[in-house]
Amino acid sequence: MDYSVFTMRTLYTLFALISLILVTLVVTSAQPNPTLDVACAPDASNTNCAANMTPTFSGGGLNSHKDYAVVATQLLGNGFIDVLSSVDKQGNYSEGSSDGAIAPDTWTFTLWELDHSGNLNKQLTPPQTLIFD
């Protein structure tokens, strides 16, 4: 088969345009916003979380090649850092707190990205406050 120069140039141009469009789509595709949901067993009156129970952290929008942690602080000033271990390839996670049961108090939870040394690097979600009683 003998293709004309015009046909070959057209094919090369078409291939270049398709490649450019694909590269543009990949580069401009925004990462989803990281999310944090703190689930807890309800207290007896179904208004707050039951104290002395383990909450579950879940969400999405994370990069599976980075490390993350949920930071929890009490109104009284105590708290803990719970490093997430269940981030899947799609950036989703769901796991119970490795710190265990939550003491009665008002607690604030935030999702953080960790640096390569395991230190808190960047806060990803606004504070989420729950009352455990």
pLDDT tens for 31-69 read 689 999 999 999 999 999 999 999 999 999 999 999 999
27's tokens = 């580069």
* Cα–Cα distance measured from residue 74 to residue 77, given in angstroms and rounded to the nearest whole number: 5
| Largest CA-CA distance found in the chain, in angstroms, rounded | 82
pLDDT value, residue 27: 54
Burial class (CB in 10 A: 0-12, 13-18, 19+), 30: exposed
Which three-class secondary structure state does DSSP give residue 14?
Answer: helix
H or E segment to which residue 11 belongs: helix 5-28
Ranges of residues in the chain whose predicted pLDDT is under 70 = 1-3, 5-6, 8, 11, 16-17, 24-31
37-132 folds as Immunoglobulin-like (2.60.40)
- In terms of Cβ atoms closer than 10 Å to its own Cβ (0-12, 13-18, 19+), residue 87 is buried
Q: Which residues pair with 93 in a beta bridge?
A: 59
- C-alpha torsion 16→19→21→24, nearest 10: -120
Q: How many CB atoms lie within 10 A of CB 86?
A: 11
pTM: 0.76
> What are the residue ranges spanned by the domains of the chain?
1-30, 37-132
Structure tokens, 26 = 């990949």
